Homo-oligomer: A and B are copies of this chain.
Amino acid sequence: MQADFNRLQNFVASVFESIGTPEIQAQLAAEVLVSADARGIDSHGVARLAGYVRLFDHGRLNPNPQIKIVHESPSTAVIDGDKGLGLVVAPYAMEIACEKAEKAGTGWIAVRNSNHFGIAGYHAMKALNHQMIGWAMTHAAPLVTPTFSREKLLGTNPVAMAIPALTEPAFVADFASTAVAYGKLEILQRKGLNTPDGWVQDAEGNPCNDAFAIKNGGALLPLGGDREHGSHKGYALGAMVDILSGVLSGANFGPWVPPFATAGFMSAGESVGIGTGHFLGAMRIDAFRPADEFKKDMDKWIQRFRSAQAVEGKQVIIPGDPERELEVERKAHGIPLLEPVVRDLETLANRFNVPFILA
């Protein structure tokens, strides 16, 4: 099915309103969630809507949170999300980051007591309109083994950074600290195919090619894959994200990060902090250099890299280019939804008596 972008976003907002989210917050949450579908990161979009509702059903999500600053300095704050939607808590935190950066040059917000925040890139990009560089990170429930570990201790822990240019579109990096996104395993599972080397390991910690490895006690591997190819670097990067999102905010961390709501995997388990955490930042360009000079140099950086001599049949890509192009295309011509996702959305429409007209 091909869903119209605006209708899909309105439908999502209606579902969030149905569980008690105030209208403006529901619209914001829908915007963040559907931006993932528009940008081609389908695993983080409306495919997760039923999961957010399950979090609500199990008392792990507060639909009308009192988000508050619990501690701050001129360039920092810790925010308690009051068990709210990360889709709402993170934009709030990012606004504080930009306000702090306006005065102090930079703003850095550690968030606790939140939930899954959608795609990191959305939040980082919020800084662009303020002539700022945006940062966004989040930890997530453990699916990843540190180098040499058999135990899953880290999430896919993404890092995003958005950097404005002058005439060129912004540089937008947004990547998990793993060799591959979990969504790519799901595609292979559906096709009955094996994974390439270096993506997953089995329950004993041996390299394997089983697309179902995680369900069988195995794990995703950190970026790098194995020690010889630098997996200790992917592990270190994922650890940095976990410590900034979890330890610095007072949230849970490492293996204690609560799972997203997938069937049979509901309980948050033992706790060493408060909920899930994120780490967001904004850096005002002209706290370093005149913004126009910087942006002119970014144009030069982008043009030089984009026009680099490439291997035959390929082109060097600027981080953010493919997602931006897809966003234009999908906003104009619709968002493709898989059958199981459509069925999930229909179930929600029936439950909440929300009109289900997406095309």
Give chain A's interface residues, CB within 8 Å of chain B.
71-76, 78, 103-106, 108, 110, 133, 146-151, 153, 159, 161, 163, 171, 173, 175-180, 196, 198-199, 204-206, 223-225, 228-230, 232-237, 239-240, 242-243, 247-250, 253-255, 272-273, 283-285, 287-289, 293-294, 297-298, 300-301, 304-305, 308-312, 314-317, 319
Contact = CB atoms under 8 A, between A and B. Distances in A.
A260 to B, nearest CB: 21
A178 to B, nearest CB: 8
Contacts of A72: 105, 287
B234 A223 contact: yes
A308 B148 CA distance: 9
A305 B254 contact: yes
A146 B316 contact: yes
In the complex this chain forms, how many copies of it are found? 2
21 contacts: A72-B287, A74-B75, A75-B75, A75-B287, A104-B105, A108-B283, A110-B288, A150-B310, A151-B308, A151-B309, A173-B240, A175-B230, A198-B229, A204-B311, A223-B230, A225-B225, A237-B237, A247-B301, A248-B289, A249-B288, A253-B301
A130 B46 CA distance: 45
Contact of A104 (B74, B224, B253, B315): B74
Contact of A223 (B233, B255, B285, B308): B233
A283 B285 CA distance: 19
Nearest to A178: B230
Contacts of A314: 148
Given A224-B223, A232-B317, A289-B78, A272 B297 contact: yes
B230 A180 contact: yes
Nearest to A148: B314
A232 B181 CA distance: 13
Nearest to A227: B314
Nearest to A296: B247
Contacts of A73: 104-106, 284, 287
A124 to B, nearest CB: 11
Given A74-B74, A151-B309, 4 more contacts: A71-B287, A74-B104, A149-B305, A175-B236
A106 B284 CA distance: 14
Contact of A74 (B105, B223, B235, B273): B105
Nearest to A231: B223
